[in-house]
Amino acid sequence: MKKLLFLSIGLLCCLFTVQAQKSSKIKIEYSDFSDINQEEIPDALLLRGNVRVSHEGVVFTCNKAYYFQKENYIKAFGDVQMVQGDTLFLNSKYAEYSGEVKKAFATGNVIMRSPESTLVTDTINFDRNVQEAYYNTHGTITNRENTLKSKSGRYYVAQKKFQFLTAVTITNPKYVIKSNHLDYYTNSGHSYLFGPSTITSKENYIYTEKGFYDTKKNVSFFKKKSYIKYKDRLIEGDSLYYDRNREFASATNNVKITDTINKGLVKGHYAEIYRNLKTQKDSMMITKRAVAITLVENDSMYIHGKKMLITGKPGERIIRAFNNVRFYKTDMSGKCDSIHSDQKTGLTKMIKNPILWNYENQMTGDIMHLIGNNKTEKLDSLKVLNNAFIISKDTLSTGFNQVKGQNLYGKFADNKLKEVDIVKNAEVIYYMRNDQQELIGINKSTCSSINMILEGNTIETITNFNQIEGDIYPEKDLPENTRKLRGFIWRGDERIKTKDDIFPPEENEIDAKIQAKKIKEDAKEDKPLEPRKETLDYDKNNPKPVVK
């Protein structure tokens, strides 16, 4: 029984304490004049002239006030100001405040100031219990860097954060941000975007549905359906990083960079892009299943390397690809160690161990150059320097047509090899057939140079020049072991037959893992970004100087 009585008394004491804390009275500190007029304002104390009242750390000043003592409620008129420590200053023409529920209401040219920013609106509510101010009238927020305008908003005093869930615009001298869901931290200038949002500047246009923007450092990070659009280029990726001061961007996973002027496309899973706004000379690096796709006579050329660099002005781009380079086009494919392609000159250099397949022709040499025509967007010519070698299978036997020499010069017509000149130390083995495709002999000869005319991707004529040696042999008179020229290597099993063949297995494995991860991420509930540690710790890491 004693325990029960003690518990009851304890509960009553707790309840009394809570009620006492909740019902602390508004304190009148000063007024030039005070009066009670039951007819005009029943149950209210009228205060006039330099009115100053306070309640639990908040101070009100105004020209005139009605204080309802029973309700612990005050109405303030004329030059109203509410001050909460050094964190919040609120000015208006009229305000109301309840000491019971610790809520304030202000209207008429409302100005709310914090150490970092100023809000101007018509009406505002402030809940001291949760330290939140909110407004549903058009508001304008200004600080040193930005101006924010919105139809409504909420301010979290402790976090120094504005939250907007309707149309909001941030205007900065360098850009404009628009969103329907934005969290803006006034101390750090950090903005968190959610839902369709845009950032527009002279240099580019950014779209995202989930992102972060540091308005002081001009550094940003975007995650969902994001892209950066320049006048000549569109950058997309699962995640994007952008530094406006350096004009640097990086993209990660499912990266796609579209050259809108030159009709080119680059893909991969990681890219870095630098832009020089003065010289217009840009540079781009892309890796992880990288591929550059360019349009050549209404057909796409696919070039892959473990690492690719693209530099230069629009119309003068240079593409470099390194390590196990492969390329594919419907009528042509090839491999080499590295490649250098100059858009302005139309010259593409295949460097170290080059091999090229044009239809059924296999071509090798120490150095290989492809020359394009920029006006017609067609391949114009081919150079193979040192140890040039062309091999193609004979259509009706197990033999191989072969031509070799020091250098090879070829001409294309409609992207097909039309004419070939083999210069210096030329050798040939060629299976000669009549119109009925009957074998009439095997031409094995040497000479100073050879000219070949190809028709329908088959050799139509072969002409030998100077110092000709050799003959046309009946098949039975030319032993098998003499039907291959020195240095002959048939590499048909290496031939790239589709655009997917340009990727080695290890890079396909990387791609499969990234796509699986993306499927899992897309299946998750879509939520705004969590505040970064640098946002939450901003004041701790950036203390204000102590004024002595």
pLDDT in tens, 290-341: 999 987 667 788 999 999 998 888 778 888 999 889 999 888 899 999 999 8
Mean pLDDT across the chain: 88
For residue 7, name the pLDDT band (cuts at 50, 70, 90): very low
3-state secondary structure at position 226: strand
Q: Is the pLDDT of residue 160 over 80?
A: yes
What is the reported pTM? 0.84
Q: Is the pLDDT of residue 23 over 80?
A: no
Other C-beta atoms lying within 10 Å of the C-beta of residue 86: 8
Per-residue pLDDT, averaged over 449-471, amounts to 81
CA distance 257 to 266: 5
Looking at 100-238, which runs of residues are DSSP E strands? 103-113, 118-127, 132-135, 139-142, 147-150, 153-156, 161-164, 168-172, 175-179, 182-185, 190-200, 205-214, 219-222, 226-229, 233-237
Contact between 345 and 316 under an 8 Å Cβ cutoff? The reply is: no
Q: Is the pLDDT of residue 143 over 70?
A: yes
Q: Is the pLDDT of residue 278 over 90?
A: no
Q: 263, 314, 265: which is closest to 286 by C-alpha? A: 265
Give ∠ CA 189-190-191 in degrees, rounded to 5.
115
Q: Which 8-state DSSP code applies to residue 218?
A: T
For residue 523, name the pLDDT band (cuts at 50, 70, 90): very high
Per-residue pLDDT, averaged over 402-419, amounts to 87
pLDDT of residue 305: 94
Q: Which residue has the higher pLDDT, 131 or 282?
A: 131
Q: 68, 69, 58, 72: which is closest to 23 by C-alpha? A: 72
Per-residue pLDDT, averaged over 244-255, amounts to 94
Highest-scoring range by mean pLDDT, 62-71, 268-277, 442-451, 464-473: 62-71
Q: Which residue has the higher pLDDT, 458 or 177?
A: 177
